[in-house]
Amino acid sequence: MHRTDPSSGRDETRDVDRQVGAVVLRQDGGLLLAADDGFRTLDWDSGSTELLAPVEADRPELRMNDGKVDPRGRFWAGTMRRDEMGTEGSLYRLDPDHSVTRLFGGVGISNGLDWTTDRRTMYYIDTTPRALYAFDYDDATGAISGRRALITFPEERGVPDGMTLDADGYLWVALWGGWAVQRYDPDGQMVGRVEVPASQVTSVAFGGPDLDELYITCARRDNEGDPRQPAAGGIFRFRPGVQGRACFRFAS
């Protein structure tokens, strides 16, 4: 895990001895990981982790990938095959009592998640079919229904990866292989595009004191040594002229 101070550029790391797909904050302090073997706590000071709830422990060919906390403090994260083939992944939800619920299967590469401000709609990305889905979301129970494809991405533009919503309810989607982050309105129409000097763009998040800075992550995989993208694998910062929303924390 990395922890970076944007003002100074100082970067600290912790070796957690696990492949990590996502990290979220906890309401009572500390961090929670979607690791390759399930949901884990991480104590930053000591670097120690503890398995809170295993996920698909009998399926070593699978691992957890992206995840996020919903408005009620539940941690959602999905799985995928390590070889990125097939559709054997699933979407899971970790509740504050540490119980785990499988929402659905048939997932290729489980990726970005977010919820609308009115807490009525959940967005979810499955990278394999290049689709961003919308669901009806029950805030009280965490149940989802009414799955429909809101956006299908053309292959030549890259495939959808991580995602976040801004304060206006517009979606910002990172494009793996697309050299960009694109902005979409709630109807799924593209209304903006941020070019990134790296091809494998992985995720986006708003930060800064006023939540008006868009942080963009990317990967070095498949492009190391490419002279067009010497900063591949780094973190980029962009001011898009809109604000984001504070992230939700796991209600431990």
Looking at the annotation, which residues are catalytic? 161
Which is nearest to 174 in space by CA: 66, 18, 82? 66
Q: Which two tokens stand for residue 110?
A: 């489980």
DSSP state of 231: T
Which is nearest to 141 in space by CA: 84, 189, 70? 70
Q: Are 87 and 98 in contact (CB under 8 A)?
A: no
Q: Which two tokens stand for residue 214?
A: 């868009």
Compute the radius of gyration of the chain from its Cα atoms. 17
Phi, psi (rounded to 5 degrees) for 251: -85, 70
Q: Are 71 and 115 in contact (CB under 8 A)?
A: yes
Q: Are 204 and 192 in contact (CB under 8 A)?
A: no
Question: What is the DSSP code string of 6-20?
Answer: TTT--EEE---SS-E
For tokens 């998640």, what's the residue? 113
For residue 252, give the amino acid letter. Answer: S
For residue 17, give the amino acid letter. Answer: D
